[in-house]
Structure 1
Amino acid sequence: MKLILKKAHTCFYVAIVAFVYCLIWPFVYFCSRKPSLYGRINFFRKMWAYTSSLLAGFIYDINYEAPIDWSRTYIICPNHTSNLDITSANLLIKNNNYCFMGKEELLDGFVTKLFFKTIDIPVNRDSKMSSFRAFKKASERLQDGMSLVIFPEGKIADDYPPRLHEFKNGPFRLAIEFKIPIIPVTSLNTWQMLWDTGFKYGSKPGISHVFVHKPIETAHLTLDDADILREEVYSLMQQKFEQQ
């Protein structure tokens, strides 16, 4: 019975997400017609994320290790155990000048297609050509002053309960190449509210605790330091994740 109720809650949440998306879609579509209006897409995306989560009983307790100057450009690296990690990433960024890099399949999603055809960057990690194009576009966005959200694990793994998986090198090489700080983000218990999509184990209302680490500067690093930077970020997030 408990699992049935949790799966019913997931269906309720998905319905809310779809309903609120339909309400904001005309505004997002209008903004998607001009790259100069892409920042406003994120304004509506934040409204969508906050409203749909609140109506389903998902609350985000976002704690910052140190104040962050959001006038700067960052590469933001959250761990990934839940679709709610995308919502929390939208809410923790205090401006609208950012984009996501995500799997190519999101181009076919009902509520993700428009974003990944415009402001966000799709990537097929199994294709060298797709990865090259994606990171080239990411480079252009970063040089234009737009922050990039990228999940360094590359996917939500099949482990349950989840653990932190090995990070990809891409975000760390980008950060060093363009001298951009990295912000690690550790979602501590979001998976307990909704793991992955929620369709296997269901979901439940609750408070998701998210810890935003202080930015790690990269101006003094070279590309030879990418592995060291990756391991530093992994270690920070692993230590925090184990505190849950």
Structure 2
Amino acid sequence: MKLALKRIHTYFYQYSVGFFFILFWPVLFLLSKRPKLFRYINKLRQIIAFISSASSGIFYRATFEEPIDWSRTYVICPNHTSNLDVSAISVHLRNNHCFMGKEELRRHFVLKFFFNTIDITVNRESKMSSFRAFKQASEKLKNGVSVVIFPEGTIPDNYPPALHAFKNGPFRLAIEMKVPIIPVTSLDTWKVLWDTGKEFGSRPGICDIFVHKPIETAHLTLDDADALRDEVHAIIKQKLLQA
């Protein structure tokens, strides 16, 4: 009975996302025709993420290690345990940003709109696709758009989820572009909805994320990419152990 209710909640949440996306669709469509206004697509995504979650009893709470200067551009690296991570992070970022995600997300009813306009898709099995994606990410950073990349590359299959090894891409990108990197620890989004919610369903609750202080990269070279990757992994792992 409990599992059935959690699965019903998952459907309710998913339909809430779809409902509010359709409600805002006319404005999103108009904005999609004006690339200079793409930053407002991001603002509307934040609104849709918040109200669709809140209508399902899901809320997001962020703790910041120190105040963030949102006038700067960042590469943002969170761990990944739930589809709610995107909403939790998006709601609390105060600058223009985009997400990098797997190519399959272009088939999602809601997400395909954002990946066709402001976000970046990548086929991680293709070196050419990865090259193009990170080239696009570089252009975003040059234009003052922060890039959110989940360095695990996917949501881990094991439950409860454990932190997996990080890929090098986001760390090389941050060093090449000389922008700070912000580690973000998603502490318990998986307890509210793990992965897509298909197996265990979801429930109302508060999802906590911890935004660590930025790590400067201006003094680093590409030879330091592995060390930076390991540093960010250790920061997030330590925070998860403390939770």
Could you say which TM-score interval applies, normalised by the shorter chain?
over 0.9
SS at match of 1:56: coil
Cα distance between partner residues in 2 of 1:29 and 1:197: 26
Amino acid at match of 1:192: K
Percentage of identical aligned residues: 62
Cα distance between partner residues in 2 of 1:192 and 1:18: 22
Q: How much has 1:132 moved relative to structure 2?
A: 0.8
Q: Paired residue for 1:17?
A: 17
SS at match of 2:60: strand
**Ranges in structure 1 where 5+ consecutive residues have no aligned partner:** none
Cα distance between partner residues in 1 of 2:30 and 2:149: 26
Q: Aligned ranges for residues 162-241 of structure 1 at < 5 Å?
A: 162-241=161-240
Please give the per-residue CA displacement for 1:43-96, whole angstroms capped at 9, x wherever unaligned: 11011000001011111110000000000000011111001000011111013x
Ranges of 4+ aligned residues in structure 1 off by more than 6 Å: none
Query: Is 1:65 equivalent to 2:38 in the alignment?
Result: no
SS at match of 1:166: coil
Q: Aligned ranges for residues 123-162 of structure 1 at < 5 Å?
A: 123-162=122-161
Q: Paired residue for 1:94?
A: 94
Amino acid at match of 1:52: S
Cα distance between partner residues in 1 of 2:207 and 2:117: 29
Cα distance between partner residues in 1 of 2:15 and 2:142: 38
Cα distance between partner residues in 2 of 1:28 and 1:170: 31
Q: How much has 1:242 moved relative to structure 2?
A: 1.6
Cα distance between partner residues in 2 of 1:231 and 1:31: 39
Cα distance between partner residues in 1 of 2:56 and 2:91: 16
Amino acid at match of 2:169: G
Q: How much has 1:239 moved relative to structure 2?
A: 0.5
**1:62 and 1:92 in contact (8 A); partners too:** yes
Q: How much has 1:197 moved relative to structure 2?
A: 0.5
Please give the per-residue CA displacement for 1:125-155, whole angstroms capped at 9, x wherever unaligned: 0001111111111111111111001111000
How many residue pairs match? The answer is: 243
Please give the per-residue CA displacement for 1:195-226, whole angstroms capped at 9, x wherever unaligned: 00111100011111110000000011000000
Amino acid at match of 1:42: N
Q: Paired residue for 2:30?
A: 30
CA-based RMSD of the aligned residues comes to 0.7
Q: Could you tell me the TM-score, scaled by structure 1's length?
A: 0.98
Cα distance between partner residues in 2 of 1:71 and 1:240: 26
Cα distance between partner residues in 2 of 1:168 and 1:29: 34
Q: Paired residue for 2:103?
A: 104
Cα distance between partner residues in 1 of 2:59 and 2:145: 27
**Ranges in structure 2 where 5+ consecutive residues have no aligned partner:** none
Cα distance between partner residues in 1 of 2:57 and 2:9: 10
Cα distance between partner residues in 2 of 1:165 and 1:86: 18
Cα distance between partner residues in 1 of 2:12 and 2:108: 18
